[in-house]
């Protein structure tokens, strides 16, 4: 029934109810703008990755270890470590958990398709 409305006020309503609804709407809008700004920044960082780094990011987000990733993409574990280090730097991730959070926000699938 609200169809996106913040609050549904019935007449007669108190002025304070209207003010509360306006404040709630402004707060919701502020949070949405912050989320969009963060997502835009993450998309820019993702675009800076090479295709191989993006593939490794998807595999890391899926929980694969370096050895498993190396086997799946047909390269050495050392090469995977180099790519992983580069993508951590480019994504500005301070930890693996931070990187996985970013991947989830970007909608990177947990189960990557075959490379």
The answer on pLDDT for 115 being more than 60 is no
Q: Is it true that the peptide bond before 32 is cis, omega within 30 degrees of 0?
A: no
Please give the pLDDT value at position 1.
47
Cβ atoms of 102 and 113 within 8 Å: the answer is no
Please give the pLDDT value at position 8.
82
Domain segments of the chain as ranges: 15-106
For 8, residues 6+ apart whose C-beta sits below 8 A from its C-beta are: 1, 2
- Give dist(CA 81, CA 47) in Å, integer: 20
Digit-coded pLDDT (tens) for 54-102: 999 999 999 999 999 999 999 999 999 999 999 999 999 999 999 999 9
- Give dist(CA 42, CA 68) in Å, integer: 26
Domain 15-106: which CATH class?
Answer: mainly alpha
Compute, in degrees rounded to 10, the torsion defined by CA atoms 31, 36, 38, 44: -170
- Give dist(CA 53, CA 83) in Å, integer: 6
The answer on pLDDT for 110 being more than 80 is no
Read off the pLDDT band of 10 (50, 70, 90).
confident
**Which has the higher per-residue pLDDT, 76 or 9?**
76
- Give dist(CA 56, CA 73) in Å, integer: 9
């Amino acid at each position: 029934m609200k169809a996106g409305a913040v609050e549904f006020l019935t007449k007669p309503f108190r002025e304070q109810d209207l003010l509360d609804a306006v404040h709630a709407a402004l707060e919701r809008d502020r949070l949405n703008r912050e989320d969009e700004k963060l997502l835009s920044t993450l998309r820019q960082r993702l675009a800076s990755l090479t295709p191989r780094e993006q593939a490794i990011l998807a595999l890391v987000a899926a929980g694969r270890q370096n050895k498993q990733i190396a086997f799946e993409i047909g390269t050495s574990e050392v090469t995977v470590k180099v790519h992983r280090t580069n993508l951590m730097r480019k994504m500005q991730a301070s930890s693996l958990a931070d990187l996985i959070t970013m991947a989830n926000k970007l909608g990177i699938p947990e189960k990557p398709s075959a490379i």
